[in-house]
Structure 1
Amino acid sequence: MIRSKTSLTAKSLLAWLRLTKRKRTYAELDRFRRSIESSQAKGDRGPIRSIRRRFAVERSEVDGRPCYTIRPRRGGAAKHVLYFHGGAYVHQIQHDHWRFFGRLIDRTGCSVTVPIYPLAPDHQCPETIAFVRRAYDGFAAATEPEDRIVMGDSAGAGIALALTKALRDEGRPVPKETVLLSPWLDLTMSHPAQPALDERDPYLALTGLKEAARLYSGRLPRTDPRLSPLSGDLSGLGALTVYIGTKDVLLADARRIHTLCTEQGVPLSYHEYEGMIHAWMLASIPEAKLVLEEIAHLVDRSLVKSV
């Protein structure tokens, strides 16, 4: 599905990004490296105050790292989302993520578990994926298969797809829904369309993404499926959903998974929004509210499927 109408609010956000030259963070290597230091220096602060005030928040640990579960204070549904945040594998979770979780819980009554996975450059892919697997085991032990939804944005979407593929390959039950928001699915960054997309993107840039890929991959080839889960067989993964905007350098990844699913006969719910930027689903704009309703339907239907 391709949506072409762009709201005035979204256009204003796009103009603000260009006016403030936010792209320089990813386009200039020194700025990008400083952004990593600044983000990681803040450490784990957990859910923001409004989330702690409105919901029940439980903190557990996996390998000594925090893992937060957020639930309605009363009632709630059995449906449970395991969410991996974006940030190019080098940046901490942001306030917009927590606000998005709050809106999703308000809308569906679900629970959301958020593992705060280790970041590059101090931690690289094998360690991060091992942590993710153990976090998933704890998540799976507390939920029924028909109630599990795995979701992520950007790098977190890459983690989500890599996890679902690994579960399938091991013969374990896969989540009923895997939802990928502005997904980063190929760390080789070799798609020929990406230089042109880079020019249109007001936020991300190939320079910073390639550096993040280098820091996270370490000695692994970037074609490794843990790094680039786009490659290979995409069948048997449960329901797949992708959201992307056309002013996102990662649009190439999204369109490629759409093409591969079509070629392999794999059902994919694909949503491309004209004029939208990277991870716009987390922003406070009308298009994000529409997507929230659609994602809420996905969360709701995962329970219906088990009947």
Structure 2
Amino acid sequence: MSWQSALACWFLRRQFRPQTLKPDINVGRARALTAKRVWVPSVPRGWVLREQYRPDDAPLRGEWLEPSRTGGAVTDVAPQRTILYLHGGGYYFCSPQSHRSLVFELAKRAGARTFSLDYRLAPEHRFPAALEDAVAAWRRLLADGTPAGSIVIAGDSAGGGLALATLVALRDAGDPMPAGAVLFSPWTDLAATGDTIRSNDGRDPMFSGPAIVRAAQVYLGDAAPTHPYASPLYADLRGLPPLFMQAGETEVLLDDTRRVAAKAREAGVQVECEIWPKMPHVWHIFAPFIPEAGAALDRAAAFVNQVTSVRAAQSSSETSIV
């Protein structure tokens, strides 16, 4: 454990976790705190940030990070590689802006143009609004000419659970599937039945165990917490593309990762699951300050490159046969 990650855990334990001990969730305060960014990452050299926040930009409302076509550094970006990113934040706070440090670093490492979706948030827009937005964004990407096999859906925390739920919904609807999915500390069980909700309560520097149920209620409203589109742990995972999952071993949500990984493998899905010692929830967002964040993102980027290359080779082979 680096001194940088130890410092991040200390900060989270002092500044973030006490908020999760309160009996009620203050949505406005959570949004205000995440909007006050101590550090704003610069757009990487050789890349362009294109913001799409007008109402008529929906369903692709959010931010594109793309390689520059007008000078700057030469960027090794495969034009056929795209990441659809879904940010975390319990479905009720955070945004593409709050997650730029993670998204920028992942995009650079993967050499992929990346769209960070600004999906609707609860409690103004409860389940299944976020899922509807993610599915609509996927379909617009395909309608705009992006091949399904060139896309990886990625997300962290609630966004990780949303990414997995999106795969399930796309499969159920008979839509084309992406090359794979990257899930950072995904929140996959809004019923909060994992053993680590209790066993890691106090070890997790970011969340208290009981806070998980309270956050779920903000998003779910009257919906069942075991609905497979809200909690994909309870979904049939057969037929999904390869999954890459990472979580910290002290997280209260650790079992949300471990149980999905086990269930997906049983369903015949290719799964890479990494449990990192002493890492806080979604430590990737502390890139580039935490060495472990960069190392984890390197691993995720390698997965993105691998699965999109495999799908590209498959498409080329099928075309040559025809």
TM range (shorter): 0.7 to 0.9
Q: Using a 3 Å threshold, how does the CA distance of structure 1 residues 144 and 10 change in structure 2: closer, same or farther?
A: same
- What runs of 5+ residues in structure 2 fail to find an aligned partner? 70-74, 314-322
8 Å contact kept, 2:25–2:215: no
Distance 2:120 2:141 in 1: 18
CA deviation after TM superposition for structure 1 residue 49, in Å: 6.8
1:169 to 167, 172, 189: 172
- Superposed, which structure 2 residues align to 1:1-307 within 5 Å? 6-18=1-13, 20-30=14-24, 32-33=26-27, 35-36=29-30, 38=32, 50-51=42-43, 55-60=47-52, 61-63=56-58, 66-74=61-69, 76-77=77-78, 78-93=80-95, 97-142=99-144, 143-283=146-286, 284-305=289-310, 306-307=312-313
Distance 1:236 1:16 in 2: 41
Stretch of structure 1 that moved more, 116-125 or 253-262: 253-262
Distance 2:58 2:244 in 1: 30
Q: Provide the secondary structure at the position in 2 that maps to 1:230.
A: helix
Q: Using a 3 Å threshold, how does the CA distance of structure 1 residues 37 and 175 change in structure 2: closer, same or farther?
A: closer
Distance 1:149 1:64 in 2: 18
Q: Deviations 1:33-84 (Å, cap 9, x if unpaired)?
A: 45335358x59x9xx5722886323334454883221101136322000000
Stretch of structure 1 that moved more, 8-17 or 154-163: 8-17
With the length of structure 2 as denominator, give the TM-score of the two structures.
0.84
Distance 1:262 1:67 in 2: 33
CA deviation after TM superposition for structure 1 residue 30, in Å: 4.4
Root-mean-square deviation over aligned CA pairs: 2.5
8 Å contact kept, 1:176–1:239: yes
Q: Using a 3 Å threshold, how does the CA distance of structure 1 residues 141 and 255 change in structure 2: closer, same or farther?
A: same
Distance 1:229 1:64 in 2: 22
CA deviation after TM superposition for structure 1 residue 256, in Å: 0.8
Q: Deviations 1:12-31 (Å, cap 9, x if unpaired)?
A: 3223333x242011121346
8 Å contact kept, 2:148–2:178: yes
Could you tell me which amino acid in structure 2 is paired with residue 147 of structure 1?
S
Q: Using a 3 Å threshold, how does the CA distance of structure 1 residues 266 and 107 change in structure 2: closer, same or farther?
A: closer
Q: Deviations 1:172-224 (Å, cap 9, x if unpaired)?
A: 22111111000000100122331121221111123332222111111211111
- What runs of 5+ residues in structure 1 fail to find an aligned partner? 1-5
With the length of structure 1 as denominator, give the TM-score of the two structures.
0.88
Distance 2:81 2:96 in 1: 24
8 Å contact kept, 1:245–1:274: yes
Q: Using a 3 Å threshold, how does the CA distance of structure 1 residues 123 and 172 change in structure 2: closer, same or farther?
A: same
